[in-house]
A and B are shown apart, each in its own frame.
Chain A
Amino acid sequence: MDNELIEILENWQEPITDRVAQDALDAKLGIDNSKGFFQAVDWNRIKGNQTVVKSLMDYWNNIVVVIVDVYVHTQTGTQELATDDSWITDIDMNNIAQNIITLADAFPYSITNYVIPKTSYIGGLGATATSPDWSDINTLETDIKLLYDLIYGSISMWRYSGEVICSSDSEQIDVL
């Protein structure tokens, strides 16, 4: 495994994809169940894993994907990573979901179990307002994990499928 790949893989964080409704209900009731909350660590993991998948695609097959830079908001402006005092807007949520679609579209093969994430969130308090729930965040994380597993699997197969030796004095090709 070369250094470039090691560096990319080092940034991967195992996604949480098994949230259930009870987790969210627990969170609403103030029960200490971190899977039911959407926190800075979750946002940073989703964002970081998107970057990992993007880099892997480039590494694996020279597929250069352009995704939107997403920032979070603080009292004084915007910043790259979420912190406890930050927040996101509807546009940020839609952008991070759209990035997953962009990555999936760029992947050259079909992705089994891929679910197109929602990109139509509307902020505010009106009747038209929509926001993500536990299953929407599961979808985001599951999609990224599917892409990661497929690309990483492809790279691994390529790396361990053996060596091809061409003899100089014969037409024999030996596969070791």
Chain B
Amino acid sequence: MRDLSENYENEYDKSIMRQLKCDIKWGIINQVATDGNTPSCDSQVPFSNISDNILSDSTTPTSQYGTFEPKFWDLTGGMNLVPDNAEYGQIGLVTEDIADESGLFTEPYPTLHIAFDETVNLYGLLVNFSLYKREYAVEFDIQATLNDLSTTTVSVYDNADTSVAINLNFENVDTLDIVIKKWSVGNHRARLTEIEYGLYKFYNSNTLISVKEKKQLNQISSALPINTLEFIVLDTEDLFNSDNTQGISQFLSQRQPIELTYNQETDGDDEEINAGKYYLKEWSSTSNRNEYKLTAEELIGFMDDPYYMGKYYPTGELVSVVISDLLNSAFPIDSGFNGYWDLSEVPEMYIYAPLPAVVSSSYVSHKDCLQMLAQYCGCIVTTNDNGYIVLKPIGYSLEIADTTYEDDVYTYTAFAIKMSKIYNNPPKAEMKSILKQIDCAYRTLSLGTFNTVYEMTISATADSDYVCEHTISNYKTSVANSTTIITITDSNDDSVTSYTAQKGSYATIITFDSDGIYNIKIEANILNTYKTSITTYNTDDSNYLNGEIITIDNPLVTTLANAQTISANFIKELKHREEYDIEIKRDLRLENGDVVNLEKALVSSGLPIDPVSVRVLQNEIDISSSTQKLKVREIDTDIE
């Protein structure tokens, strides 16, 4: 549950709540340029630091090192001493050259040179000079060398800002030079703390036609629903028009970060609510001229590629390690999202079975694998406000609305969705089927015979990945990776060729160093699996024998204890049949997964009855509506 101020609560309790506004910050940042560049400078002091992407890191130095340039080191205590141990930290570029009294540098000008790992398109650049000293380059050039070796330059004159956003239209850029010619203060070095390869667009209630946010939670991780943000912008500048060569349509790409913030006016300070981070997925024009629709999703929405690298762990591996391997595969370093996850709350459990590559003739995506792993370790998959993927156990404590302390005793009041805030009250339950039983399969594993699992001649191109799917259907079992032997020869002369291989239990990915036609043979131990199923009855419901059966077949479950735990989790979440689709007065405190009280009444009489505890499973907010759609399901709590 979001912890919002008392001002917000007071505003919410008013009969007419003031309008909710929202801001969207859309970073049209070139992630490839951000993550794949090597900065260098021939004129920098030893404590200058432009390595390891310091310049494009999200951390901007808030201080500077004190040096003896005239009238530079202020004695507020805010400037730092250069460390003698050479651990200089993220200070950015500090040039060796010092400007003359009027701020002019002499040729050769101090130049920050940036070489990109691959050719990039840049439509904008955000350059932060010395934010602490509020100093900046008055005159500087942005010079790009393109992949045809031609150069193109944008010169900036009379700049008067420490943070400069520059519109560019550079395509096929190999290198970029920032040439500093004049500094804002004479006799000082130039300092540059951050570069962003792109620009931010800001939309507020004046330029947003609509904003819809839909968040869903699967409390048993039988599927991974994706939270989405859909918004329509008013494009008065024709930026989205593909005929506009100065527009941004050519720079639109998936995964551009979008931050959503709600603003609620209150009697006190306005409440600013960070509603999270999404990533651009789709964009299109609408039937209305100058209106464009953009759809963004959480990172989970970008995990559709098949995952082949499931491994067999004969002595067990921590689930968090396996999840980390999976996420590293989904979001490698060059994706720009490597490490965008929080696995700190994943239980310390071991896993043995490999993640499957194919289930029921369908390839298993990274997202499917994450769902299986979450279900295996009893976690839900969600996203935090920084846009990180979070796996954590689901909670059963009622959210607390108020705490009082009297006579050495704390009294807690549970948060309740009040009937007065529910449209078409009292809420009416949609009756789900009674749960009869959970049938949960588990597989015991044993190492089998050594066999050829792949044999093929392929025509290969250097540096491309070839997925060799093991022929496991003949054996009706999985393949262990630990003893895999790969033999690759050139089909012309049987010579051995060089390659790299990633070994998985169900597939091997091979990358050849040179073009050719190759014979590939992969031999591996067969992994025998013996499937057993246990049944757990929902005896909490006296009428359970008339209910439905839910079958769980998670190939990661390998022990009876695993199967029993998962079955118990399912029963705890699903044993109550009451599910409610309600529309309430919009309340930004509620989040998916929250357990809260729901006030009820008999539909026939309207007489209040005891509230029920429910878990929030779906949350839909539309900025143009004062209501909010919720899906909640009754749940037992830890607190009586």
Chain A: residues with CB nearer than 8 A to chain B? 19, 21, 23-25, 27-28, 30, 32, 34, 36-40, 43, 72-73, 75, 82-93, 121-126, 129-134, 136-137
Contact = CB atoms under 8 A, between A and B. Distances in A.
Given A75-B45, A82-B68, A124 B89 contact: yes
29 contacts: A23-B75, A24-B74, A24-B77, A27-B74, A28-B76, A38-B74, A39-B68, A39-B72, A40-B70, A73-B82, A75-B46, A85-B69, A88-B68, A88-B82, A89-B81, A89-B82, A92-B84, A123-B84, A124-B81, A124-B83, A124-B88, A124-B89, A125-B80, A125-B88, A131-B77, A131-B79, A132-B75, A132-B77, A134-B77
B238 interface: no
Interface stretch (B59-67, B149-157, B581-589): B59-67
Contacts of B80: 123-125, 129, 131
Contact of B71 (A34, A43, A121, A124): A34
Q: Identify which of A25, A32, A88 gathers the most chain B CB atoms within 10 Å of its CB.
A: A88
A36 B74 contact: yes
Interface residues of B, number: 36
A85 to B, nearest CB: 6
Contacts of A91: 84
B84 A85 contact: no
Contacts of A86: 67-68
B48 to A, nearest CB: 11
Given A75-B96, A132-B77, A125 B63 contact: yes
Contact of A39 (B63, B70, B76, B87): B70
B98 interface: yes
Given A86-B68, A124-B83, A27 B88 contact: no
Contacts of A24: 74-77
A65 B373 CA distance: 71
Given A30-B134, A43-B68, A87-B68, A137 B84 contact: no
Given A30-B185, A37-B72, A125-B90, A88 B81 contact: yes
Contacts of A82: 68
Contacts of B45: 75, 87
Nearest to A26: B74
Q: Identify which of B46, B68, B82, B87 gathers the most chain A CB atoms within 10 Å of its CB.
A: B68
B191 to A, nearest CB: 13
B73 interface: yes
Contacts, number: 125
Given A75-B96, A84-B187, A28 B78 contact: yes
Interface string B87-130: 11111000010100000000000000000000000000000000
Given A28-B76, A43-B68, A137-B75, 6 more contacts: A24-B74, A34-B71, A38-B68, A40-B70, A84-B187, A90-B81
A124 B87 contact: yes
A23 B85 CA distance: 31
A56 B317 CA distance: 73
Contact of B69 (A25, A43, A84): A84
B83 A90 contact: yes
Contacts of A23: 75
B98 A123 contact: no
Contacts of B83: 89-90, 122-124, 129
Contacts of A19: 75
A133 B81 contact: no
Contacts of A87: 45, 47, 65-68, 82
Q: Identify which of B67, B71, B81 gathers the most chain A CB atoms within 10 Å of its CB.
A: B81
A77 B88 CA distance: 17
B70 A84 contact: yes
A6 to B, nearest CB: 30
Q: Identify which of B70, B71, B85, B96 gathers the most chain A CB atoms within 10 Å of its CB.
A: B71
Contacts of A85: 68-69, 98
Contact of B76 (A75, A124, A130, A133): A133
Q: Identify which of A85, A87, A133 gathers the most chain B CB atoms within 10 Å of its CB.
A: A87
Contacts of B47: 87
A125 to B, nearest CB: 4
Contacts of A75: 45-46, 96
B65 to A, nearest CB: 7
A32 B77 CA distance: 18
Contacts of B76: 21, 24-25, 27-28, 133-134
B354 to A, nearest CB: 43
Contacts of A122: 81, 83
Contacts of A21: 76
Interface in B33-55: 45-47
A39 B490 CA distance: 70
A83 B67 CA distance: 10
A98 to B, nearest CB: 14
Contacts of A137: 75
Q: What 3 pairs between A and B have smallest CB-CB spacing? A: A123-B83, A133-B77, A125-B89
B99 to A, nearest CB: 11
Contacts of B68: 38-40, 43, 72, 82-88
A27 B98 contact: no
Contact of A134 (B65, B70, B75, B87): B75
Interface string B170-200: 0000000000000001010000000000000
